[in-house]
Amino acid sequence: MNMCSKGLAASVWLDDATVTGTLAGLRVVDLSRVLAGPLCTQMLSDHGADVIKIESALGDESRQLGPPFDAQGNAAYFTAINRGKRSMTLNLASEDDREMLMLLLEQADVLVENFVPGTMKKWQLDYETDLKDRFPKLIYCTISGFGDSGPLGGLPGYDAVLQAMCGLMSINGSPETGPTRIGIPLVDHLTGYTALSGILMALYARERSGKGQRVEAVLFDAALSLLVPQAANWMQSGVSPTRMGSGHPNIAPYDCFETSDGPMFLGVVNDSQFFKLCTYINRPDLVNHPDYATNAARSQNRVALRAEIEPVFLAESRDALCAGLMRQGVPAGPVNTVPEALDLAHTRHRQMIVDEPAYRGLGIPIKLSSSTTKVGLNPPTLGEHNEQIKHILQQSLHSEQDT
């Protein structure tokens, strides 16, 4: 995958032979901060890519998004999305530091940035005018709130702002709570995966064309794409979606229910599952009742249906009820806390916890049957690899100037 258009006197990139994974040999320059970009580049690193994280002297803002902080002073937030990378500080407003970035790009495959649109152009690092011709194989991924054109183009955007603007908050929560932010930065997460997908597609296209291209991942687009099925429902019916708590606008019973010792979630999607539910709770009379015989009928009569089945749940223990329903093929699960979810035996079985002496974090969600995935270096301290990388780059810079 390596470009190697004008090799460095001594490469700062890791020896391919020492790295495993599907993306071993892929070289990534990460200029991004906070969440979407760093998450994207961490996923690339988890699968073998060599990622050099470029930060200003102030560092990625997420280093300060705590408490809690680790022993090195990094916020837990930062450590969650920056493992497997080397950190180097550069001042991109400085011509000398920009030239060092250019030396990195000589052998890089991918550049990821999420500055406010126009920032890279101000630094003479614009893809179309400054980088495309000089690095024809480079995959340039830009992540922004609204893109760089249109009525909102160039404006700054954060996850919660996009949740608000794109309708997600309007359908989250209950009539009593009012519009509610989704409890995780879901738009940022999806945009990170969108960027990852775009980069991989661009690399695939490069294998055939030999040319790189610009990949654009935009929070606004990602947020709107999450409106399934609410957007389609509105387009078909003209009825504006409303807040339904944990319920589903198209499916019933698909909601939280109380048991004798805590809440559970029941997800009945089809008639077969509804039959199994009614059989298990000894309410076969509900199966052929005209108000509940089909999903459409159940959705229209969801309040009455809840009144029929919840009293049965209230007499049962949450975990026993969920386990029994699942054995019958009815999707159901306890509403766990975060510690409870991370403590599940299945969490360990799926290798979704990394528990090492110097690092604890979530595991790798993308698993390939014939390729190695491995958590790499611990999240770096700010500028941890400056001496290692800058020394080689400065040698190369001086060598070029002498010639």
Whether 142 and 259 share a structural domain: no
Write the CATH number for 387. Answer: 3.40.50.10540
Classify residue 74: in a domain, yes or no.
yes
Whether 143 and 177 share a structural domain: yes
Query: Which residue, of 301, 336, 371, is where some domain finishes?
Result: 336
Q: Is 80 exceeded by the pLDDT of residue 397?
A: no
User: From CA 53, how far away is CA 144, in angstroms rounded?
Assistant: 18
Classify residue 236: in a domain, yes or no.
no
- Per-residue DSSP letters for 262-298? EEEEEE--SHHHHHHHHHHTT-GGGTT-TTTSSHHHH
Helix (H) or strand (E) holding 217: strand 214-218
Classify residue 237: in a domain, yes or no.
no
254/390: higher pLDDT: 254
Whether 38 and 176 share a structural domain: yes
Q: Is 80 exceeded by the pLDDT of residue 5?
A: no
The residues that are catalytic are 248
Average pLDDT, the chain: 93
Residue with tokens 């603007």: 165
Whether 319 and 364 share a structural domain: no
- Per-residue DSSP letters for 329-364? T--EEE---HHHHHT-HHHHHTT-EEEETTEEEE--
Whether 306 and 196 share a structural domain: no
Residue 26: alpha-carbon gap to chain centroid: 20
Whether 315 and 275 share a structural domain: yes
For residue 8, the model assigns a pLDDT of: 60
Q: Which residues contact 67 (CB under 8 A, 6 or more apart)?
A: 75, 76
Residue of 106, 115, 110, 136 whose CA lies nearest to 48: 110
Do 105 and 157 contact (CB within 8 A), yes or no?
A: no
Tokens of 330: 């009815």
Whether 201 and 328 share a structural domain: no
pLDDT band at 7 (very low <50, low <70, confident <90, very high): low
Whether 303 and 361 share a structural domain: no
Whether 319 and 367 share a structural domain: no
Whether 277 and 384 share a structural domain: no
pLDDT band at 403 (very low <50, low <70, confident <90, very high): low
Summarised one tens digit per residue, pLDDT across range 345-373 is 999 999 999 998 889 999 999 999 888 78
Residue of 149, 284, 290, 280 whose CA lies nearest to 220: 149
User: From CA 252, how far away is CA 246, in angstroms rounded?
Assistant: 11
Mean pLDDT of 256-266: 97
Classify residue 351: in a domain, yes or no.
no
Whether 217 and 261 share a structural domain: no
For residue 392, the model assigns a pLDDT of: 86
Q: Which residues contact 100 (CB under 8 A, 6 or more apart)?
A: 90, 390, 393, 394, 397
Do 108 and 199 contact (CB within 8 A), yes or no?
A: no
What percent of the chain has a predicted confidence (pLDDT) above 90? Answer: 88
Q: Which domain holds residue 195?
A: 16-225+356-402
Q: Is 50 exceeded by the pLDDT of residue 253?
A: yes
Classify residue 248: in a domain, yes or no.
no
Query: Which residue, of 306, 336, 366, is where some domain finishes?
Result: 336
Write the CATH number for 280. Answer: 3.30.1540.10
Classify residue 10: in a domain, yes or no.
no
Classify residue 317: in a domain, yes or no.
yes
Whether 208 and 262 share a structural domain: no
Classify residue 342: in a domain, yes or no.
no
User: From CA 29, how far away is CA 123, in angstroms rounded?
Assistant: 16
User: From CA 252, how far away is CA 270, in angstroms rounded?
Assistant: 9
Least confident of 80-89, 231-240, 328-337, 393-402: 393-402
For residue 371, the model assigns a pLDDT of: 81
Tokens of 99: 């030239």
pLDDT band at 4 (very low <50, low <70, confident <90, very high): very low
Least confident of 194-208, 272-286, 360-374: 360-374
Do 202 and 237 contact (CB within 8 A), yes or no?
A: no
pLDDT band at 377 (very low <50, low <70, confident <90, very high): confident
Total number of domains constituting the chain: 2
